[in-house]
Amino acid sequence: MSKFAIVIASTIVYLIATVSNAQDTSRAYEHLKELEVFIGVWEGKMTVPEGARPSESRGEVAGRKVALSETVRWAPGKCGQVIDYKWHMEGQPPILAVSLLGWDQGRKQIVSNDYTTETGTWSGIWKKEDGKWTCTYQGLNLDGTKCSGKRVYAFSNEDHYVMRDVNRIEAGAKQPDLRFEYSRKSKPQR
C-alpha cells in the first residue's frame, strides 16, 4: 500500500469516527492508552540552534525564539488522538497544523500524519523506547525537499516534558538537534 493510500485511509477512519456517535471506547484504545499522558493543552518554547538550515516558510534563523502551543484530545471513541498546534517564530506569521495519531491495525503500529499550513506533511511511527515515547518520521517540505528525523519525548513529571528532535536530515543535509520544552497549561475535565 502506498504512503498516499495510508494517509487517505487514516483520514477516512478519522472522519468516520468523527461523524459516528461512538459512546464506547474503541478497540484501538488498548494500544493507545499510554498516550493519555499527552492529553491537554500545552505550551512550549525553543531557540533555533546555530547551523540550522534556513527555511523561508518557517523563518528559521539561528537564535530566534519559537513559541509553541498544542491542544491534544481524543478522537471520538478514543480511536486516536487529534493534535492541533501552532508554531510561532518571532518575527514571522504563525504556522498552524494538525496531527492525527492512531493505531494502524494492518502494520500493528501507532502511526501519525501531520499536515501544516506552511511547511509540508510528515508521517511517523511511534514506539515506547526506554520509558520514552519516540516518533521516527519522514516527510516532504513545501519546497519539495525531503526531511526525516526522530522525536524523543521525555517526561520529568505529568505536567512537563522535553521533546528532542534528533537525527534530522533536510534536503540531504544533517541538521542540528532541536530541543523543545513543554508545560501543561490545562488538563481535560474528567
Site of grid cell 519539495: 144
| pLDDT tier at 63, thresholds 50, 70, 90 | confident
Cα separation, 47 vs 173, in Å, equals 20
Site of grid cell 518520521: 137
- Window from 58-62, 134-138, 176-180 with minimum mean pLDDT: 58-62
Domain count, the chain: 1
Cα separation, 92 vs 161, in Å, equals 26
pTM confidence score: 0.82
- Window from 6-15, 31-40, 93-102 with minimum mean pLDDT: 6-15
CATH number at residue 73: 2.40.128.20
Give the residues across from 98 on adjacent strands. 84, 115
Length of the chain: 190
Cell of 182: 513543554
Residues 55-76 have a mean pLDDT of 82
Cα separation, 164 vs 179, in Å, equals 5
- Domain hosting 101: range is 3-186
Q: What is the pLDDT of residue 29?
A: 96
Q: Sort 88 into a burial class: Cβ within 10 Å, 0-12 / 13-18 / 19+.
A: middle
The pLDDT tens digits for 38-54 are 999 999 999 988 877 66
Q: Which residue has the higher pLDDT, 93 or 184?
A: 184
